[in-house]
Amino acid sequence: MIPEYLFRALLGGIMVSILLGMLSPLINMRGLAFLTHATFHSLLFGAVLGMILGLIFENSSLILWVALVITIFVVASIAFLEEKGFSSDTAIGIIASFIAGFTVLAFGILYKVMATRPYFALSQSIVSYLTGELFLITINDLLFLVLGGALIFFVMLLFYRDFLYVSFDAEGLESYSGNAKLYLTLLYIIVGATGALIVRTVGLITLQVIAVLPGAIALMLSNDLRKILGISLALTLSIQILSIILAYLTNIPPSGIATIMLGFVYGGLVLRR
**Overall average pLDDT of the 139-150 stretch:** 92
Vertex 170: Cα angle to 164 and 172 (nearest 5): 105
Q: What pLDDT shows up at residue 177?
A: 56
Model confidence over 91-137: pLDDT tens digits?
988 998 899 999 999 999 988 888 787 655 555 566 777 788 888 88
* Cα–Cα distances in angstroms (integers) from residue 211 to residues 34, 45, 55, 205, in the given order: 12, 19, 31, 12
* Cα–Cα distances in angstroms (integers) from residue 240 to residues 110, 127, 209, 260, in the given order: 33, 20, 13, 12
Residues 6+ apart with CB under 8 A from 140: none
Evaluate if residue 2 carries a pLDDT over 60.
Answer: yes
Q: What pLDDT shows up at residue 51?
A: 87
The CA distance from 38 to 78, in Å, is 10
Q: What pLDDT shows up at residue 36?
A: 80
Q: Which run of H or E residues covers position 184? A: helix 180-202
**Overall average pLDDT of the 169-182 stretch:** 68
In CATH, which superfamily holds the domain spanning 4-272? Answer: ABC transporter involved in vitamin B12 uptake, BtuC (1.10.3470.10)
Q: What pLDDT shows up at residue 194?
A: 93
The residue with greater pLDDT, 159 or 58, is: 159
Task: Return mean pLDDT, the chain.
Answer: 87
Please provide residue 58's backbone torsions phi and psi, each rounded to the nearest 5 degrees: 55, 50
Model confidence over 180-220: pLDDT tens digits?
788 888 999 999 999 989 988 888 888 888 999 999 999 99
